[in-house]
Amino acid sequence: METEFAIIGGGIVGLSLAYGLLRRGKTVCVLDEGDGAFRASRGNFGLVWVQSKGLHHPAYAQWTRASARAYRSFADEIETVSDLPLNLQQDGGYIIHMSEDSLDADRKLYEGLRSRLGGDYPFEVMGHNALKTEEPNIGPKVAGALYCKEDGHVNPLRLLRGLTVAVRHLGGTLRTGHKVTDVTPQGAEFSITAEDAAPITAKKVVLAAGLGAMSLGPKLGFKAPIRPQQGQIIITEKLPKLMNRPNVEVRQVDEGGIQIGASSAEVGLNDREDVATIAGLAAHAVDMFPKLARAKMLRSWAALRIMSPDGLPIYQRSARHPGAYFVTCHSGITLAAAHAGVLGDWLTDAAEQPDVSAFGEDRFDV
Amino acid sequence: MFERIGHSATAQVRFTFNGETVIGNAGDSLAAALLAAGHKVFRDTPTTAAPRGPFCMMGSCFDCLVVVDGETVQACQIPAQDGLVVTSPPVPRAQP
Amino acid sequence: MTRVDLIVIGAGPAGMAGATMAAQQGMSVLVLDEQPAPGGQIFRNLGASTAQQRQMLGPDYTAGQMLLDGLAAAPLTLISGAVVWDVDQERTVTYSKDGKAYRVKADYLLLSTGAMERPVPLPGWTLPGVMTAGAAQILMKTSGLLAKDAVLAGSGPLLYLVAVQMLRAGTPPKALVETQTPENYRAALRHAGGALRGWKALAKGARMLRELRRAGVPRYTAARDLAITGDTAASGLRFTAKGQVHHLECATVLLHQGVVPNTQITRALRLDHQWHAGQRCFHPVLSPWGQSSHSQIYVAGDGAAIAGAKAAEHAGQCAAADILRCAGRITAAQRDTLAASAKRNLAGEQALRPFLDALYAPPAAILRPSDAVTVCRCEEVSAGDIRAYARLGCKGPSQTKAFGRAGMGPCQGRTCGLTVTEVLAQATGQSPQDTGYFKIRAPLKPVTLGEVAALHSPAHQQPEGQDT
């Protein structure tokens, strides 16, 4: 099979890129592995999140914010094509602090970023009483929160399904259940070998394979200095409305369950949940929202997310093999709008394209 | 729907279900007592508000969910006791 | 943390027999069981049963008394009302009892969590008034409650047993609607050896049918296209038999299509499993002694493979014997002696299975229901929805769960898991083995965040009834 763009990886990142390329009239084939894959797309928190991103990297803060601003029209498009409500809510969100000291420390970091951005960075400091007016169910131990009006959340599983429908609807080929094991440059093209499938030839190849880039990246001349970061999440039974806005550790999903997370540990390719970590998450959630003490935990899971050395995305064209691209990030949900939108101009080398040089791999050169 | 055989000498327990008094036998699960009293609908589903009652009676299907003392529990796993205040789980806000 | 040599999870026949043997041989044994009293499902409430109940439920039930007595006399600890919600590969078990969570560690685990009813997805099966045959039996055993004018529908020995028990109690079923076809009998007869060994079981079945016939209980055979009618509750059962459409009016429909192993814990432990074509379910992969793909974790009883209560008892003893050997307390030769009759009897019971499995095989319409039928009861996902996700590229249950929430409800896939696997396998053309099963994770049963939080810091433990 021959195609113009082969995208290795059919998660949120791969599908968002595929969607953007298909909207630009390109021919796209997305290759995805089997059901048992790690899939960070199933292990995220569903946040479309601006605050706290890029506190030391203004370019990332701005990239994130731009994606959040483009999210409403992105979500509308996916909803229209797939006929699936994504329940995007962008009414603001919090990072809740349990001590004045930590609240103050973060406030200073935000103020630093704000001044580097010439004053254009939205956030507010809320003390306990101000927060309680907005979120009556917060507990007495909560010191306050940092609030950003541009924060929000979406149903990430609906987004995944919606993108799948949209990609197929726009004529993209989606090959699932075939893990890519090798990708070889062949002249000006690329030959992609996958398990239980005939090889595919593509003019351009985009590596959006999450942790799969660790082995596939070097084949295309990328450093791919990424590593797995394990996060555990808890979800409760469906409950009547308890919170108005999401915070970065606890949110009420559209279905009614409360999602709690996430831990963060470097344990290699270990996606097992453990009681000690879950207990810590539960304790923290109950401190923030005491009413949750009676709520039933229904399930937990542990997912492996992708971490680069500085936590920022990597967008890199291969110098050694022109036509190969590497895209990876930690915040695949938040950046989906950018990936489906402006990043397509970078992938197609359009006359007007975003400046993503801050996210190149050369920043990792010693 | 259900008939009780024997057990005429068993002590009785009295509790409420959605405000209505229910009389069961000591040793009944909440689900058994409710079925014996003629209640076949315990709750409405959170997804489509469809009526549900007990299905497996062994703690496997989770269709017999009720709320006791602020906690969602399986009625087939909880013994019926005097004074319990039992309600149907509230249906969360309507979902698209 | 408390530490013991062996934790046994589940006090049915396998757990009782295994725990008793291990304790008698000197291991420190903790038995955790979620029911208020031991016995599992088969011997449920036996210890507290009345003479009338025992008379109604028959000698198979009362046979469990010896196991109960053995358990009570053995030097072990039994904790009833213990709901296990996490088990890890290091053999730490987390359970809740009376609103508090506890953790205990063991060198060895014996998982004897038994079976659950096979899901019976058909139109209308979620309506109030529809229950399993097993549910009716539990109501008889624990509360002396009998369903009036109920229709029993499906396949399997339990169908007849419950019918006879209801008849003897004075509330005969309105009718028996059986889904076995002549092909089931033909397939079963290919296992003639099993039929010969199983003549006692067959004779018992024939006696039950005679009793039902003499009492005038209508019996419909080779029924298909079953559907439960009703709007907000069951009002009847419609089906086709001998070319005629029937509609039996009733408020209670009792379904049964056999039982399947409860694999929640074995799956959560990521032990190897294998699809069994004859039993149409997954079994944990086990050595002949019950040792799983993890050398310190054993599985015995119907939770390993369906073979009945007697087999479970023998399998429990075999597992205990091998655990003793594995722990270095006895030699392999001593194990063989200790478990000699258990092993022999187990083989005898297991030899019946291929015959019984073929005889009572569930029909395709139940295994792979039509599009409109609800598969995931908790999240109300239909068979048609699952087929649509397969068309979108979902190759297995994890992606299907992500796309449509099947398996995300409180039952954690117990009721829909096998159907999801079968429907996906059919839709993708993969074998059930390659399709796989849901990934099961903690908590194995729902538990309050307060209880879980208290494991982190006791300050979070709330006194009973405190409102926040």
Residue with tokens 């003629």: B38
Q: What span, in angstroms and rounded, lies between the C-alpha atoms of A260 and A72?
A: 25
Model pLDDT, residue C40: 92
User: What number of H helices and E strands is found in chain A?
Assistant: 9, 17
Q: What element of type H or E holds C219? A: strand C219-220
**Quick one: tokens of C70?**
């053995």
DSSP assignments along C264-287, one per residue = HHHHHTT--EEEETTTTEEEE---
* A16–chain C nearest CA distance, Å: 16
Q: Any idea of the CA torsion for C153, C154, C155, C156, to the nearest 10 degrees?
A: -60
Residue with tokens 């095989």: C361
> pLDDT tens, C103-135?
999 999 999 999 999 999 999 999 999 999 999
Q: What Rg do the C-alpha atoms of chain A give, in angstroms?
A: 21
The β-bridge partners of C153 are: C177, C255
Model pLDDT, residue C122: 97
Chain A contact set for B44 (CB, 8 A): none
Asked if C413 has any chain A CB less than 8 Å from its own CB, the reply is no
* C243 contacts: CB under 8 Å, gap ≥ 6: none
* A152–chain B nearest CA distance, Å: 18
* A159–chain B nearest CA distance, Å: 14
Is the pLDDT score of C87 beyond 70? yes
Residue A199: asked if its preceding bond is cis (omega within 30°), the reply is no
Model pLDDT, residue A366: 66
Q: What span, in angstroms and rounded, lies between the C-alpha atoms of C8 and C114?
A: 12
Q: Do A87 and B96 touch (CB under 8 A)?
A: yes
Cα–Cα distances (Å) from A354 to A60, A344, A363, C345, C347, in that order, read 13, 9, 18, 74, 71
Whether the Cβ atoms of residue C386 and residue C422 lie closer than 8 Å to each other: no
Mutate which of C42, C49, C141, C145 to disrupt the B interface (most B C-beta within 10 Å)?
C145
| 221-280 in chain A: CB under 8 A from chain B | 237-241, 254-256
**Quick one: tokens of B19?**
């405000």
Model pLDDT, residue B19: 97
Q: What span, in angstroms and rounded, lies between the C-alpha atoms of A216 and A212?
A: 6
The least confident of A113-122, C341-350, C404-413, C452-461 is C452-461
Q: What span, in angstroms and rounded, lies between the C-alpha atoms of A40 and A11?
A: 8
pTM: 0.95
Please state the ipTM of this predicted complex.
Answer: 0.96
What's the mean pLDDT in B32-60? 96
> pLDDT tens, A306-318?
999 999 999 999 9
Whether the Cβ atoms of residue A258 and residue C426 lie closer than 8 Å to each other: no
A196 exposed, middle or buried (CB, 10 Å; 0-12, 13-18, 19+)?
A: exposed
> What one-letter code names the amino acid at C68?
L
Size of interface A-B (CB pairs under 8 A): 24
Kindly indicate the confidence band of residue C45, based on its pLDDT and cuts at 50, 70 and 90: confident
Chain C contact set for A293 (CB, 8 A): 448-450, 453, 460, 462, 468
Find the residue in C nearest to A178 (Cα). Answer: C395
* C338–chain B nearest CA distance, Å: 34
Sign of the CA dihedral C334, C336, C342, C344? negative
Q: What span, in angstroms and rounded, lies between the C-alpha atoms of A195 and A33?
A: 9
Measured at the CA of A44, the angle between CA A43 and CA A46, to 5 degrees, comes to 140
Asked if A111 has any chain B CB less than 8 Å from its own CB, the reply is no
Model pLDDT, residue C199: 77
Three-state SS at A363: helix
Whether the Cβ atoms of residue A157 and residue A307 lie closer than 8 Å to each other: no
Q: Do A294 and B71 touch (CB under 8 A)?
A: yes
Model pLDDT, residue B8: 66
Q: What span, in angstroms and rounded, lies between the C-alpha atoms of C291 and C320?
A: 10
Kindly indicate the confidence band of residue C50, based on its pLDDT and cuts at 50, 70 and 90: confident
Three-state SS at C180: coil
User: Which letter does DSSP use for residue A313 in this model?
Assistant: -
Is the pLDDT score of C468 beyond 70? no
Asked if C403 has any chain A CB less than 8 Å from its own CB, the reply is yes
Is the pLDDT score of C152 beyond 80? yes
Is the pLDDT score of C317 beyond 80? yes
Q: What element of type H or E holds C341? A: helix C340-351
Three-state SS at A80: helix
Per-residue confidence in pLDDT tens, chain A, 366 aa: 899 999 999 999 999 999 999 999 999 999 999 888 899 998 889 999 999 999 999 999 999 999 999 999 999 999 999 999 999 999 999 999 999 999 999 999 999 999 999 999 999 999 999 999 999 999 999 999 999 999 999 999 999 999 999 999 999 999 999 999 999 999 999 999 999 889 999 999 999 999 999 999 999 999 999 999 999 999 999 999 999 999 999 999 999 999 999 789 999 999 999 999 999 999 999 999 999 999 999 999 999 999 999 999 999 999 999 999 999 999 999 999 999 999 999 999 999 999 999 999 999 986
Q: Do C145 and B54 touch (CB under 8 A)?
A: no
* A36–chain C nearest CA distance, Å: 7
Model pLDDT, residue C204: 84
**C83-110 b/e (C-beta count within 10 Å ≥ 16 → b):** bbbbbbeebbbbbbeebebbbbebbbbb
What's the mean pLDDT in C321-325? 98
Model pLDDT, residue B94: 47
Model pLDDT, residue B93: 59
Is the pLDDT score of C294 beyond 60? yes
Whether the Cβ atoms of residue C173 and residue B28 lie closer than 8 Å to each other: no
Is the pLDDT score of C467 beyond 60? no
Partner residue facing B46 (CB), from A87, A256, A294: A256
Chain B contact set for C380 (CB, 8 A): 45, 47-48, 50
* B67 contacts: CB under 8 Å, gap ≥ 6: B73, B86, B87, B88, B89, B90
Find the residue in A nearest to C390 (Cα). Answer: A176
Model pLDDT, residue C430: 96
Model pLDDT, residue C205: 85
**Quick one: tokens of C138?**
């539990």
**Quick one: tokens of C344?**
């022999």
The least confident of A48-52, A106-110, C49-53, C364-368 is C49-53
Chain B contact set for C169 (CB, 8 A): 5
Q: Any idea of the CA torsion for C135, C138, C144, C150, to the nearest 10 degrees?
A: 20
* A293–chain B nearest CA distance, Å: 9
The β-bridge partners of B17 are: B20, B86
Partner residue facing C146 (CB), from B2, B58, B76: B2
Could you give the angle at which helices C383-392 and A156-169 cross, rounded to 10 degrees?
60
**A237-257 b/e (C-beta count within 10 Å ≥ 16 → b):** bbbeebbebbbbbbbbbbbbb
Q: What span, in angstroms and rounded, lies between the C-alpha atoms of C461 and C468?
A: 12
Chain C contact set for A299 (CB, 8 A): 408, 412, 441-443
Sign of the CA dihedral A309, A313, A319, A322? positive
Q: Which residues of B touch A (CB under 8 A)?
A: 46, 70-72, 90, 92-93, 95-96
Residue with tokens 């009295």: B14
Asked if A108 has any chain B CB less than 8 Å from its own CB, the reply is no
Whether the Cβ atoms of residue B73 and residue B89 lie closer than 8 Å to each other: no
Q: What span, in angstroms and rounded, lies between the C-alpha atoms of A211 and A305?
A: 8
Find the residue in B nearest to A293 (Cα). Answer: B71
Is the pLDDT score of C195 beyond 90? no
Chain C contact set for B12 (CB, 8 A): none
Alpha helices (H) along C123-176? 133-143, 157-169
Q: What span, in angstroms and rounded, lies between the C-alpha atoms of A69 and A79?
A: 17
**Quick one: tokens of C197?**
């060994």
Cα–Cα distances (Å) from C340 to C163, C186, C307, in that order, read 37, 35, 19
Chain B contact set for A239 (CB, 8 A): 92
E strands in C55-139? 77-80, 83-87, 92-97, 100-111, 115-117, 130-132
Sign of the CA dihedral C119, C358, C58, C348? negative
Chain A contact set for B92 (CB, 8 A): 238-241, 255-256
Whether the Cβ atoms of residue C269 and residue C87 lie closer than 8 Å to each other: yes
Asked if A267 has any chain C CB less than 8 Å from its own CB, the reply is no
Whether the Cβ atoms of residue A30 and residue A17 lie closer than 8 Å to each other: no
Whether the Cβ atoms of residue C219 and residue C178 lie closer than 8 Å to each other: yes
Is the pLDDT score of C306 beyond 70? yes
Q: What Rg do the C-alpha atoms of chain B give, in angstroms?
A: 13
Q: Do A296 and B71 touch (CB under 8 A)?
A: yes
Kindly indicate the confidence band of residue B58, based on its pLDDT and cuts at 50, 70 and 90: very high
Chains sharing 3 or more CB pairs under 8 A with chain B? A, C
Mean pLDDT of the residues in chain C: 94
Q: What span, in angstroms and rounded, lies between the C-alpha atoms of C409 and A176?
A: 26
Q: Do A285 and C453 touch (CB under 8 A)?
A: yes
Q: What span, in angstroms and rounded, lies between the C-alpha atoms of C143 and A365?
A: 74
Model pLDDT, residue C189: 86
Whether the Cβ atoms of residue C300 and residue C293 lie closer than 8 Å to each other: no
Q: Do B60 and C147 touch (CB under 8 A)?
A: no
DSSP assignments along A246-301, one per residue = -BSSEEE-TTSEEEE----B--SS-----HHHHHHHHHHHHHH-GGGGGSEEEEEE
* B33–chain C nearest CA distance, Å: 8
User: Which one, of A267, A338, A351, lies nearest residue A302 by Cα?
Assistant: A267
Partner residue facing B92 (CB), from A87, A256, A296: A256
Instruction: Return the higher-pLDDT residue of C192 and A9.
Output: A9
Chain C contact set for B1 (CB, 8 A): 129, 147-148, 251-252
- Residue B8 has a CB neighbour count (10 Å cut-off) of 8
Model pLDDT, residue A188: 92
Q: Do B29 and C142 touch (CB under 8 A)?
A: yes
User: Which letter does DSSP use for residue C313 in this model?
Assistant: H
Is the pLDDT score of C421 beyond 80? yes
Sign of the CA dihedral B15, B17, B21, B22? negative
> What one-letter code names the amino acid at A5?
F
Q: What span, in angstroms and rounded, lies between the C-alpha atoms of A42 and A48?
A: 15
User: Which letter does DSSP use for residue B75 in this model?
Assistant: G
Whether the Cβ atoms of residue A248 and residue A46 lie closer than 8 Å to each other: no
Q: Do C34 and B59 touch (CB under 8 A)?
A: yes
Model pLDDT, residue C437: 98
Residue C284: asked if its preceding bond is cis (omega within 30°), the reply is no
Is the pLDDT score of C464 beyond 50? no
> pLDDT tens, C209-263?
999 999 999 999 999 999 999 999 999 999 999 999 999 999 999 999 999 999 9
